[in-house]
Structure 1
Amino acid sequence: MKIIIAGAGEVGFHLAKLLSYESQEITLIDPNKKSLAHADSQLDIRVVKGDATSISVLRDARIDSADLLIAVTSSETTNITISVLSKQLGAKKTIARISNTEFIRYKDEVGFTKFGIDELISPEALAAAEIELSLKQSSFKENYEFENGALTMRGLTLSSTASFVGKTVKEAAQIFPEIHFVPIAIQRFGTQNTIIPRGDTQFRRGDTVVFVTSEGGADELCRLTGKAKADIKNVMVLGGTQIAYKTARNLSEKGINVKLFEGNRERAFEIAEELDRVLVINSDGRNVDVLEEENISEMDAFIAVGPNSETNIMSCLVAKSKEVKKTIALVENMDYFDLSHSIGIDTLINKKLLAANNIFRYIRRGEVVAMTKLSNLNAELLEFEVKSCSAVCNKSIKSIDFPRTAIIGGVVRNGEGIIALGDFVIKEGDRVVVCSLLKSIKRVEKLFL
C-alpha cells in the first residue's frame, strides 16, 4: 500500500514508524529539513522536503498513485487544504487531522467527502473520549467499545481475590456458564509475552488479562475479580491543554464535579469564562500543599493531561498516595506504557497511539470497521464486517481454519453483542471482533476478504 504522510511532527513521525514496520511504502513530506533528516535516518521511508499544500511537491511525492494521504501537520486548515488537493490529484483516500471537533460533529451535515476528505481525526478529541470511557469503567485499566458498547474490551490485572485464579479457561467456563465475557489475551506477570488463551490456559495471580464483554459482562467481571465498581462524582484535572478543556467540559456536562488546575493566569481565566460548571484554579497543580487544600483525598479520579509527561506521571503518583481511586496520565513517550503497571498509575493515554489506531484500520485488508492496539501487548483487536464472499460466512466458528494465535472475542448482530462460542454460525452482515498476535494478522485478514 502506498501511503503519503504530510507532517513530520510527533504524530506524523509515529505513524510513519508504525506503518513502515508493516512493510508499507511510506513517503513523508515536511518543510523542516531537521525533522525529515531524523525520520530519514531512523526509518526505511522516502522523504520529500517541501510544503505539502504545493501541487508540485505533492506530484513529486507521486500523489496520483497514493492509496492513502494522511495530513497531520500542526495546522488544521493546512491539513484540510492538503487533503482536498490530494484527492483532486488522484489520492484514493484522504485523512485530515483537525483540532476543531465541531467539524467531526457536523461532518455528515457539511459533507466533507464532497470536498475530498474521507475522514477527520482529532487526537485531542480521541484522548478526551478515551478518558471518559476509562472513568465510565473505572475498575478496568483498559477499555474500548465496539458498536456503541454492544461489545467492549476490558483489561485488568488479576489479584488473589479473583475467583478463577488457578483455574483453566475451560474450568472457569464450567463454573460460570452464564458469563457474558471471554478472555482474549493474557500477559504473564513479569514477562513481555502475549498469550492468546485456549481452553487449557490457566489464569494466574498477577496476569494482565484482556476480556471482551457483552451487556452485563463488566459487572460480572467486577464481582468475580473482587474489583469494586466505583462511581465517579468528583474529579481533578491538571493542565489547561485542549484535552484538559474537552475532558472538563464533557465531564461537567454529565453532572460530575470538576476542578481544573492551570498555572497560566490568562489561560485559566479563559477556561473559567467558557466552562461555567467547572471550578478553575489558577495555581500549579503539582504543588502538594495546593492539592491538599483543594481536598485531593476526596476525589474519585485525578486526570493529569498537562504538556509534560513526567509532570503528569508524578502528579498521578501524588494523587495515588492520597488514595485517589482512579489516576489517568497523558504521556508522549511510548516507553512509559511498559512502566504503567509497575509504577501504579491506572491508565496512560497517548495521542499518537490513539491517532494511529484510528488510522490503521484503513490499511488493514477486509472490511475493518474498528481497530485498537492493546497497550503493552503484542496484539491487535479488530472488528470486521462479514461479506457474503468472506471465507467465514455461513460457517460455525469451530469449523473455521483460524490461526491458534488469534481468537474471535464476540459478534455484533443487529446491534446486539454476542459472546460467540464454537457452534455459533457467522452470517453476512455480522461484525466480528478478533484478537490476533501481529504475526497472524495477514492470515486473519484473508478470512474476511
Structure 2
Amino acid sequence: MKIIIAGAGEVGFHLAKLLSYESQEITLIDPDKESLLNADNHLDIKVVKGDATSISILKDSRVAESDLVIAVTSSETTNITVCVLAKQLGAKRTIARISNTEFIQHKDEVGFTKLGIDELISPEALAAAEIRLLLDQSAFSDTYEFEGGALTMVALNLTRTMAFAGKTVKEAAEIFPKIHFVPIAIQRFGTQFTIIPRGDTQLKDGDHVVFITSEGGAEELCKITGKTNREIKNVMILGGSKIGFKTARDLAGSGFNVKLIEKDKNRAFDIADELPNVLVINGDGRNVDLLEEENIGDMDAFIAVTGNSEVNIMSSLVAKSKNVKKTISLVENMDYFELSQSIGIDTLINKKLLAANTIFRYVRRGEVVAMTKLNNMNAELLEFRVKARSRVCNKLIKDIDFPRSAIIGGVIRDGVGNIALGSFKIQEGDRVVICGLPRSIKDVEKLFL
C-alpha cells in the first residue's frame, strides 16, 4: 500500500515506524526539519518537508496514487483540511486525528464522509474508553472487547496456585471441559518471546497469558484462577489533561465517586466548573502527604494521566503501596511497557499504541472489522468478516490450512460469541477473531479475502 502520513509527532512517527516494518510505501510530511531528520535516520521511508495542507506538497507526494492518507498532526483543523484536500486529489481513503470528541459523536449527522474524511480517531477518547473497560474488568491487566463484549480479550499472570498452572492446554481443557475461554498468546516470565499456544503447550508459573472469553468466560476465569473482579466505586484521577477530563466526566456520569487532582490552578477551577459531580483538588500529585490527606488508601482505583510518564508511574507506585487495588498509568515511552508487571503497576496505556491499533485495521487486507496489538507482546488480534468467497467459508476449523503461528480465538455469529474448537464450521457473515505473530498475518489475510 502507498500511505501518506501528515505529522511527524509522536503518533505519526510511531505509525510510520510500525508500517515501515511491514514493507509499506510510506511518505511522512511535516514542516519541522528535526522531526523529519529523526524519521529519515531511523526508518526506511520517504520524508517530505512542508505543510501537508499545501496542494503542491500533496501532489509532489503522489497523493492521487495513495491508498491511505493519515493526518495526525497536533492540529485537528490541519488534519481535517489535509483529509478533505487529499480526497479531492484522488486519495482512496483518509483518516483524521481529532481532539474534539463531539465530531465522532455527530459524525453521521455532520456528514464527514461526504466532506472526504472516511474515519475520525481521537487518541484521548480511545484512552478514556480503554480505562473504563479496564475498570469494568478489574481482575485483569489488559482487555479488549469485540462486538460490544460478544468476545472479550483479557490477560493475567499465572501463579503456581492456579488450577491449570503446570498443565498443558489440552490437559487444562480436559479438567475444565465446559469453560468459555481459551488461551491465545503466552509470554514466558523473564522473556520477550510470544508463544501461540497449541494443545501440548504448557502453562507455567509466571506466564503472562492472554485469553479470549465468550459471555461468562471472564467470571469463570476469575473463579478458576482465584482472581476477583472487585466492584470499583471510588476512583482518584491524577491529571486534568484531555484524557483525565473525559475519563472523570464519563465515570462520574456512570455513578462512580471521582476525585481529580490537577496541579494547574486555573485548569482545576475550569474542570470544577464543567464537572460539578467530580471533586477537583488543586495540588501536586507527587506529594505523598496530599495523596494521604485525600484518603488514597480508600480508593478502589488510581488513574495517572498527567503529561509526564515518570510522574504517572511513581504516583501509581505510591497508590499501590497504599493498597489501591487497580492502578493505571499513561506512558509515552513504549519501553516502559516491559516494566509494568515487574514494578507492580497493573496496566500501562499509551495513546500512540491505541491510535495505531485503530488505524492498522485499514492497512490489513481482507475485511478487518477490528484490530489490536497485544501490549508488550509480539502479536496481533484481528477480527475478520467472512465472505462467501473466503477460503475459510463453510469449512470446519480443523480442516483449514492455518499457519502454526496463529490461532482462531473465537467466532461471533448473529451477535453471539463462541469459543470455536476444531469441529466448529465457519459460515458466511461470521466474524472470526484471530491471534497471530507478525510472520503469520499475510497468510491469515489470504484466508479471508
User: What secondary structure does 2:133 align onto?
Assistant: helix
Deviation of residue 167 (structure 1)? Answer: 1.2
User: What secondary structure does 1:369 align onto?
Assistant: strand
In structure 1, C-alpha distance between the alignment counterparts of 2:110 and 2:137, rounded to whole Å: 33
Q: Which residue of 2 aligns with 1:23?
A: 23
In structure 2, C-alpha distance between the alignment counterparts of 1:207 and 1:34, rounded to whole Å: 41
Summarize deviations over 1:65-113 as a string: whole Å, max 9, x none: 0000000011111100110000000000000000000111111122111
Q: Which residue of 2 aligns with 1:57?
A: 57
**Contact 2:411 2:432 (8 Å CA) reproduced:** yes
Q: Which residue of 1 aligns with 2:285?
A: 285
Does 2:355 align with 1:346? no
Q: Which residue of 2 aligns with 1:47?
A: 47
The aligned amino acid for 1:245 is F
**Contact 2:147 2:415 (8 Å CA) reproduced:** yes
Q: Which residue of 2 aligns with 1:158?
A: 158
Q: Which residue of 2 aligns with 1:235?
A: 235
Mapping of residues 47-446 of structure 1, within 5 Å: 47-446=47-446
Deviation of residue 33 (structure 1)? Answer: 1.2
The aligned amino acid for 1:140 is F
Q: Which residue of 1 aligns with 2:5?
A: 5
Summarize deviations over 1:213-238 as a string: whole Å, max 9, x none: 00000000001111012100000000
Task: Between 199-208 and 264-273, report the one with greater CA deviation.
Answer: 199-208
**Contact 2:96 2:121 (8 Å CA) reproduced:** yes
Structure 1: which 5+ residue stretches go unaligned?
none
**Contact 2:160 2:166 (8 Å CA) reproduced:** no
Deviation of residue 43 (structure 1)? Answer: 0.9
In structure 2, C-alpha distance between the alignment counterparts of 1:25 and 1:32, rounded to whole Å: 21
Summarize deviations over 1:363-406 as a string: whole Å, max 9, x none: 11111110000111111000000000000000000000001111
Deviation of residue 256 (structure 1)? Answer: 0.4
Summarize deviations over 1:116-146 as a string: whole Å, max 9, x none: 0000000000000011111110100000000
In structure 2, C-alpha distance between the alignment counterparts of 1:166 and 1:36, rounded to whole Å: 49
Summarize deviations over 1:18-69 as a string: whole Å, max 9, x none: 1111100000011111111111111111111111111111101110100000
Q: Which residue of 2 aligns with 1:36?
A: 36
**Contact 2:316 2:327 (8 Å CA) reproduced:** yes
Task: Between 100-109 and 320-329, report the one with greater CA deviation.
Answer: 100-109
**Contact 2:237 2:305 (8 Å CA) reproduced:** yes
The aligned amino acid for 1:77 is T
State the Cα RMSD in Å. 0.6
In structure 1, C-alpha distance between the alignment counterparts of 2:150 and 2:420, rounded to whole Å: 13
Summarize deviations over 1:227-255 as a string: whole Å, max 9, x none: 01210000000001000000000000110
Deviation of residue 3 (structure 1)? Answer: 0.2
Aligned length: 449
Deviation of residue 285 (structure 1)? Answer: 1.2
The aligned amino acid for 1:366 is G
The aligned amino acid for 2:20 is S
In structure 1, C-alpha distance between the alignment counterparts of 2:442 and 2:190, rounded to whole Å: 29
Summarize deviations over 1:176-232 as a string: whole Å, max 9, x none: 111000000111111111111111111111110000000000000001111012100
In structure 1, C-alpha distance between the alignment counterparts of 2:194 and 2:78, rounded to whole Å: 40
Task: Between 167-176 and 118-127, report the one with greater CA deviation.
Answer: 167-176
Deviation of residue 276 (structure 1)? Answer: 0.6
User: What secondary structure does 1:148 align onto?
Assistant: helix
User: What secondary structure does 2:129 align onto?
Assistant: helix
The aligned amino acid for 2:116 is G
Runs (4+) of structure 1 moved beyond 2 Å?
A: none
In structure 1, C-alpha distance between the alignment counterparts of 2:66 and 2:27, rounded to whole Å: 10
In structure 1, C-alpha distance between the alignment counterparts of 2:57 and 2:140, rounded to whole Å: 47
User: What secondary structure does 1:246 align onto?
Assistant: helix
The aligned amino acid for 1:56 is S
TM-score calculated relative to the size of structure 1: 0.99
User: What secondary structure does 1:258 align onto?
Assistant: strand
In structure 1, C-alpha distance between the alignment counterparts of 2:42 and 2:205, rounded to whole Å: 39
In structure 1, C-alpha distance between the alignment counterparts of 2:30 and 2:14, rounded to whole Å: 14
User: What secondary structure does 1:378 align onto?
Assistant: coil
User: What secondary structure does 2:48 align onto?
Assistant: strand
The aligned amino acid for 1:159 is T
In structure 2, C-alpha distance between the alignment counterparts of 1:402 and 1:363, rounded to whole Å: 21
In structure 2, C-alpha distance between the alignment counterparts of 1:12 and 1:362, rounded to whole Å: 16
Q: Percent identity?
A: 76
In structure 2, C-alpha distance between the alignment counterparts of 1:171 and 1:32, rounded to whole Å: 57
In structure 1, C-alpha distance between the alignment counterparts of 2:19 and 2:203, rounded to whole Å: 34
In structure 2, C-alpha distance between the alignment counterparts of 1:134 and 1:222, rounded to whole Å: 15
In structure 1, C-alpha distance between the alignment counterparts of 2:231 and 2:394, rounded to whole Å: 42
**Contact 2:55 2:85 (8 Å CA) reproduced:** yes
Summarize deviations over 1:254-308 as a string: whole Å, max 9, x none: 1000000001100000000000100000011111000000100000000000000
In structure 1, C-alpha distance between the alignment counterparts of 2:94 and 2:434, rounded to whole Å: 26
Deviation of residue 161 (structure 1)? Answer: 2.5
